[in-house]
């Protein structure tokens, strides 16, 4: 085709991708994460390490004579972070550490309720007659579940809570403070956890869909082989080979948080921000919210069907 004919037949709809990009960039993206796990496992620290900024306060003590502090209620903090003109509105929900009471029965209920409440709020906004063009999304896209680095097995409470959570949210398990395990212990612990997840029929994110191409299926498979991510968090920088890096310094050495030889923090960060951010958001809408929505609408319909019958009695 000559240049002239091409110019005559060119309509210009291929610019739709730039138009979408422009609109999305203007609006920005919303990502909501919840952190769940026993008290003091480094939840706040890890979040601050992942997003390379101080987003939530760690409750750790700086001196041994300071009183013990801990997160005592579900707290959501919002931040806008910008990278190369892309605006990410980040909502982080910190939950009180649980499982340290004598009776832990039902200690997960407030967390599940919080997640369902966000679905419910979204559904209400969706169903209003004059609904907003853009609904503020507070639905939780990812739940980072912190496992105690015991090196033995999952605690019964971990199994119960992960099972319940996986029914309403994308659960990503992490072995907290993995610097307390040797490499062999870490590998054995990971295998044990994966076996227990399968044995207890806990289906964790990522899920394969029919739409996934070969590359995505392969990527998900790689992630499944790493999960649970054995991580180390730190808000402090240490000097290694003259370079300042995020790390933890002990008497016997230094853990470089961002070194894949030391821990799997970088795998987790890449997974959350580079490879699966959009998929976590989509899966929340298409799987978890959709399941909630259809259940609610069915209940509404059944309620409406029963009402006239009741009023006739
Ligand atoms: N060794 C080690 N210590 C860590 C790690 N991450 C955090 N810590 C330390 O553990 C302590 C508790 O960390 P936090 O981030 O406040 O823990 P949390 O889970 O948010 O605590 P709650 O909000 O009370 O449940 C702090 O002193 C941190 O410096 C880690 O990967 N390894």
Take atom 24 of ligand 1 and give the residue whose Cα is closest. Answer: 70
* pLDDT for the residue numbered 211: 75
Which neighbouring-strand residues pair with 173?
Answer: 145
Q: In the predicted model, is pLDDT for residue 245 greater than 80? A: yes
User: Does residue 23 lie in a domain region?
Assistant: yes
Q: In the predicted model, is pLDDT for residue 148 greater than 70? A: yes
Q: Are 178 and 42 in contact (CB under 8 A)?
A: no
Among the listed residues 192, 184, 188, 181, the one whose alpha carbon sits nearest the alpha carbon of residue 154:
192
Residue 12 has what DSSP assignment?
Answer: -
Mean pLDDT across 235-253: 87
- Cα angle, residue 61 at apex, residues 66 and 78 outer, rounded to 5°: 125
pLDDT in tens, 254-282: 899 888 888 999 999 999 988 999 999 99
User: Does residue 32 lie in a domain region?
Assistant: yes
Classify the complex by whether its ipTM is higher than 0.90, answering yes or no: yes
User: Does residue 5 lie in a domain region?
Assistant: no
Q: In the predicted model, is pLDDT for residue 17 greater than 80? A: yes
Strands (E) located in 169-233 = 171-175, 229-230
* pLDDT for the residue numbered 71: 58
pLDDT in tens, 70-87: 556 788 888 888 888 888
Pocket of ligand 1 (CB under 6 A): 39-45, 58-60, 70-71, 97, 177, 179, 232-233, 248
Q: In the predicted model, is pLDDT for residue 311 greater than 70? A: no
Q: Are 40 and 70 in contact (CB under 8 A)?
A: yes
Residue 167 or residue 14, greater confidence: 167
User: Does residue 6 lie in a domain region?
Assistant: no
pLDDT in tens, 81-108: 888 888 889 899 988 876 666 667 778 8
For residue 309, name the pLDDT band (cuts at 50, 70, 90). Answer: low
Q: Are 71 and 128 in contact (CB under 8 A)?
A: no
How far apart are the C-alpha atoms of 224 and 95, rounded to whole Å?
26
Domain that holds residue 214: 17-60+69-297
Ligand 1 pocket test: pick from 45, 68, 176 the residue with the most ligand atoms within 8 Å of its Cβ.
45
Q: Are 247 and 254 in contact (CB under 8 A)?
A: yes
CATH value at residue 81: 3.40.50.300
Residues 130, 135, 136, 138, CA torsion sign: positive
Peptide bond into 228 cis (omega under 30): yes
Q: Are 174 and 263 in contact (CB under 8 A)?
A: no
How far apart are the C-alpha atoms of 233 and 28, rounded to whole Å?
28
Report the 10 Å Cβ neighbour count for 102: 4
CA-69 nearest atom, ligand 1: 24
This prediction has a pTM of 0.86
User: Does residue 202 lie in a domain region?
Assistant: yes
- Going from the Cα of 43 to the center of ligand 1, the distance in angstroms, rounded, reads 6
- Cα angle, residue 276 at apex, residues 41 and 192 outer, rounded to 5°: 45
User: Does residue 172 lie in a domain region?
Assistant: yes
Residue 6 burial (C-beta neighbours within 10 Å; 0-12, 13-18, 19+): exposed
Among the listed residues 171, 141, 150, the one whose alpha carbon sits nearest the alpha carbon of residue 41:
150
pLDDT in tens, 46-70: 988 887 766 676 655 445 555 555 5
* pLDDT for the residue numbered 305: 77
φ/ψ of 268, rounded to 5, equals: -65, -45
Residues 6 or more apart from 5 whose CB is under 8 A from it?
A: none
Decide the pairing of beta strands 29-37 and 86-94.
Answer: parallel
Residue 64 burial (C-beta neighbours within 10 Å; 0-12, 13-18, 19+): exposed
* pLDDT for the residue numbered 293: 94
- Going from the Cα of 62 to the center of ligand 1, the distance in angstroms, rounded, reads 11
Take atom 30 of ligand 1 and give the residue whose Cα is closest. Answer: 177
- Going from the Cα of 250 to the center of ligand 1, the distance in angstroms, rounded, reads 15
Report the 10 Å Cβ neighbour count for 259: 16
How many domains does the chain contain in total? 1
Tokens 């939950």 sit on residue: 95
Take atom 1 of ligand 1 and give the residue whose Cα is closest. Answer: 177
Mean confidence (pLDDT) of the chain: 86
Take atom 25 of ligand 1 and give the residue whose Cα is closest. Answer: 39
**Quick one: which H or E segment has residue 300?**
helix 290-312
* pLDDT for the residue numbered 61: 46
User: Does residue 260 lie in a domain region?
Assistant: yes
For residue 310, name the pLDDT band (cuts at 50, 70, 90). Answer: low
User: Does residue 244 lie in a domain region?
Assistant: yes
């Amino acid at each position: 085709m000559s240049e002239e004919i091409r110019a005559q037949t060119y309509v210009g709809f291929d610019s739709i991708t730039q138009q979408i990009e422009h609109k999305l960039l203007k609006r920005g993206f919303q990502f909501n994460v919840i952190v769940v796990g026993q008290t003091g496992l480094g939840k706040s620290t890890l979040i601050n390490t992942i997003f390379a900024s101080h987003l939530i306060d760690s409750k750790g003590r700086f001196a041994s004579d300071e009183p013990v502090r801990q997160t005592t209620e579900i707290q959501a903090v919002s931040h806008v972070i910008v990278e190369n003109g892309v605006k990410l509105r980040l909502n982080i929900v910190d939950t009180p550490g649980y499982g340290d009471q004598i009776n832990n029965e039902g200690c997960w209920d407030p967390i599940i309720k919080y997640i369902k409440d966000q679905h419910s709020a979204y559904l209400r906004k969706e169903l209003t007659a004059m609904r907003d063009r853009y609904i503020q999304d507070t639905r939780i896209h990812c739940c980072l579940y912190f496992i105690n680095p015991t090196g033995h097995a999952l605690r019964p409470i971990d199994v119960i809570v992960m099972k319940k959570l996986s029914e309403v949210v994308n659960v990503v398990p992490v072995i907290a403070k993995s610097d307390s395990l040797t490499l062999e212990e870490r590998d054995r612990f990971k295998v044990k956890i994966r076996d227990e997840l399968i044995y207890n029929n806990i289906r964790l994110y990522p899920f394969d869909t029919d739409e996934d191409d070969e590359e995505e299926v392969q990527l998900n498979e790689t992630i499944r082989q790493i999960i649970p991510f054995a991580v180390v968090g730190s808000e402090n920088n240490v000097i290694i080979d003259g370079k300042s890096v995020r790390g933890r310094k002990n008497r016997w050495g230094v853990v470089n948080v961002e070194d894949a030889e030391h821990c799997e923090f970088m795998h987790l960060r890449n997974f959350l921000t580079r490879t699966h951010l959009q998929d976590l958001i989509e899966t929340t809408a298409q799987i978890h919210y959709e399941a909630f929505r259809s259940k609610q609408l069915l209940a509404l319909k059944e309620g409406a069907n029963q009402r006239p019958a009741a009023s006739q009695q």
